[in-house]
Structures are given as C-alpha cells and as structure tokens.
A and B are shown apart, each in its own frame.
Chain A
Amino acid sequence: DIVMTQSPDSLAVSLGERATINCKSSQSILFRSNSKSYIAWYQQKPGQPPKRLIYWASTRESGVPDRFSGSGSGTDFTLTISSLQAEDVAVYYCHQYYTTPQAFGQGTKLEIK
C-alpha cells in the first residue's frame, strides 16, 4: 500500500507570507501513459467537507485563487500558498488516487502567526 507523509504537521505563517506544505509518497504515483502524477490537494475548514484545490499535482481547480499552486512529480510534492490570507486557515491534505487503497496524508494544520 502507498503511504502519504506530509510535513510539517502544523505551520504558522504571517499574513501575506508564503506557506509551503510537503507530501511524500512511499512509491511513485506517476501514471506513465499520460505523465501525470495522481495526487490531489484538499482544504478542510472546521465543520466542512474537504474541498479539492489541486489535482494532477499542479492543476488548479476552477475557482481556486491563483495564490494556491502545486508542484512535484514521482514521489515528492508541494502545495504552496504564495501570500497567506486569513481565509486560508484550514487543514490541508494530500491524496493519492493512483492505486487502491487510496490514501491521504495525515494533514497539515495551517494557522496565522
């Protein structure tokens, strides 16, 4: 089974500053036929379901602000928020859907410093 490991577990960033969350998969999740990494990033606020931000490692969901970006390939991935806004306070999860059982990272709690 593929294990997804996020770092850090929690992060405090000043408003307007950059936030970076990392995710490492225990095996490659690169789908060779289309050269896409099958990883998504979600944002979850208290009392709400997760909301997909990014899929294919770097493709932003429609309507998601462009301060959110994803990068990486193979086994190492990053979610970056270029200029933190107050409404970005949430828990962020990576998710591999390359194979079953699908798996989520343990989550990264993002707060305002």
Chain B
Amino acid sequence: QVQLKESGPGLVKPSETLSLICSVSGVSIGSGGYYWSWIRQPPGKGLEWIGHIYYSRDADHNPSLQSRISISVDTSKNHFSLSLSSMTAADTAVYFCARDTITHGLDVWGQGTTVIVSS
C-alpha cells in the first residue's frame, strides 16, 4: 500500500533554513498521476496548505510563503522535499506530506513531523 514518511530536523534555529524530505513507498512518483503536497499545522491550530509538485512540472506554492519556499522532487530516490528559509517561531508546526489525487483531494498522508523553531 502507499505510504509516506516525513523526515528532518526536529529543531531549527531562527533565520535558518528548514529542509524536510517525504519518502514515498508503494507507488513511483515518476509514474505521474498525482501531485505531492506539503501541509502544516501549528500547535493547536488548523491546517495550512504549503504547496505541491508534479514530478515533471514546477511546484505551486502558497503565496503567503512564496519568497521563502522551495519544493522539489527526486524520482530516483522516490521522494520529494520542502525547503523553507528564514524560519521564525511562527513556522513552528507539525509538517505533513500527502498525496494529491488532483480530482479527489488528499488521499494518503504521512504521520507528520514536528518542527520547533528556537534558539
């Protein structure tokens, strides 16, 4: 079955860049048919769509994060990545990756990884 798993540092210093990877198993990103998404959830708050990428196209990003964000895909490793620069306390959140079916919403989610921004 399809599984997604986030990995990355649990603690980031203010002004640094966060790098997260979402490892995908059970389906090949390079086969197409899906977008691959990042979503985050600050403590005690709701979900925020960060962006998504198709294996052969440019990513789409949330404009609120536009200048700080980069999403990329590595089909050889079957994973996709999130880079978020100039981190502040407001970026403290659980970061989820998910599969975007394009027409049916987000059908498979990772368990999430907690990122705390603190010196």
A: residues with CB less than 8 A from B are: 1, 36, 38-40, 42, 48-52, 55-56, 59, 61, 93, 95, 97, 100-107
Chain B residue at minimal CB-CB distance from A99: B60
Q: Which of B66-116 contact A (CB under 8 A)?
A: 96, 98, 100-107, 109-112
Contact: A103 with B106, CB < 8 Å? no
Q: Does B15 contact A (CB under 8 A)?
A: no
Q: Does B32 contact A (CB under 8 A)?
A: no
Question: Looking at the complex, which one of A48, A55, A106 makes contact with B105 (CB distance below 8 Å)?
Answer: A55
In the complex, A1 Cα to B61 Cα: how many Å? 12
In the complex, A38 Cα to B52 Cα: how many Å? 17
A-B pairs with beta carbons under 8 Å apart, 11 shown:
A38-B105, A49-B110, A50-B47, A50-B96, A50-B106, A55-B104, A55-B105, A95-B106, A97-B105, A100-B60, A102-B49
Tell me whether A40 and B47 are in contact in the complex, defined as CB-CB below 8 angstroms, given that A101-B60, A101-B62, A101-B63 are known contacts.
no
Q: Does B46 contact A (CB under 8 A)?
A: yes
- Cβ contacts under 8 Å, B49 to chain A: 101-104
Extra contacts, 19 of them, besides A49-B98, A100-B60, A102-B52 (Cβ < 8 A), are A38-B105, A40-B105, A40-B106, A49-B110, A50-B47, A50-B106, A52-B107, A59-B104, A95-B105, A97-B100, A97-B102, A101-B51, A101-B62, A102-B37, A103-B49, A104-B49, A105-B46, A106-B46, A107-B47
In the complex, A97 Cα to B52 Cα: how many Å? 11
